[in-house]
Amino acid sequence: MTVPDEGMLLLVDKPKHWTSFDVVNKLRYAFKIKKIGHAGTLDPLAQGLLLIGVGKFTKKLELLQGLNKEYEGVIEIGKTTPSFDLETAFDSSSDYLHITSAQVLEAAQQLTGKLDQMPPIYSAIRVNGERAYKSARKNEPLELKSRRIHIFEFEIIKISLPEIYFRVTCSKGTYIRSLAKDFGEILGVGGYLKQLNRTKIGDYSLQHAQQLETLIDQIKLAHEGN
């Protein structure tokens, strides 16, 4: 696999525990190219669709970042963590057995539409020139500002308490971890994001994405052929 003059777009299925930057670095090394980047960060514990621009295609990445996203995942209610996912340890637990399916559906309905969302303190947002997660890990006080987002659809796929399986379509800048935290708060028992998979970015689908290792092998074979 060689990079054409006009550059190229790669659809990659990001593995769990990899950062988006890890994926870019791995491909940069494989292609032996400097111009490479991604359109839309995925948290290390999330997996799924990552759009990678190579060569001159990197100029188009900013446009792709503004596209709507689709995710599927699992929220676990009755527990919370400071990072709103499994990056940090549990810091509270509550009884959830009284929660009904009707309450779950109502909570999803309340979190549909235009919302002011507070980003997680464990995020890559810069506060006073430093990434928020770095300050959070040092227990430094943080003042984050809410951002306007749009949840176009919040579908509950399955309820198997304490786990709630969902599908969300949303605007750029949405933190699904914050959505999970807000979901638990509406139910009054807390909640965190247990699992997340990005399935779409605009019209680009995870179904057409390649596994990272398969892609690396293809690049290596092309280089050996040259």
Which residues of the chain register pLDDT less than 70?
A: 123-124, 127-129, 132-133, 135-136, 141, 225-226
Q: What DSSP assignment string belongs to 48-96?
A: EEEEEEEGGGGGGHHHHHTS-EEEEEEEEESEE-TTSSTTS---EE---
Q: Which of 159, 66, 147 has the alpha carbon at shortest distance from 108?
A: 159
Q: Which long-range contacts (CB under 8 A, 24 or more apart) does 176-180 make?
A: 176/46, 176/71, 176/73, 177/43, 177/83, 177/84, 177/85, 177/120, 178/84, 178/117, 178/118, 178/119, 178/120, 179/111, 179/117, 179/151, 179/154, 180/73, 180/75, 180/84, 180/85
Map tokens 């506060």 to a residue. 127
Is residue 43 annotated as part of the catalytic site, yes or no?
yes
Q: DSSP letter for 44, please.
A: T
What pLDDT is attached to residue 5? 86
Q: Which two tokens stand for residue 28?
A: 């940069």
What pLDDT is attached to residue 143? 73
Spatial CB neighbours of 218, under 8 Å, sequence gap ≥ 6? 1
Top-level CATH class of 69-201? Answer: alpha beta
- For 39, other C-beta atoms within 10 Å of its C-beta total 23
What pLDDT is attached to residue 166? 98
Query: What's the rounded Cα separation, in Å, for the pair 92 and 11?
Result: 38
What are the domain boundaries of the chain?
8-66+203-225, 69-201
What homologous superfamily does CATH list for 8-66+203-225? Pseudouridine synthase (3.30.2350.10)
- Rounded to 5°, the CA angle 125-127-131 comes to 50
What pLDDT is attached to residue 40? 87
Residue type, 187: L
Query: What's the rounded Cα separation, in Å, for the pair 70 and 161?
Result: 23
SS3 38: strand
What pLDDT is attached to residue 183? 98
Options 43, 85, 95, 203, the catalytic residue: 43
Q: Do domains 8-66+203-225 and 69-201 have the same CATH topology?
A: yes
SS3 102: helix
What pLDDT is attached to residue 120? 85
In angstroms, what CA-CA distances link 9 with 32, 147, 226?
Answer: 16, 29, 22
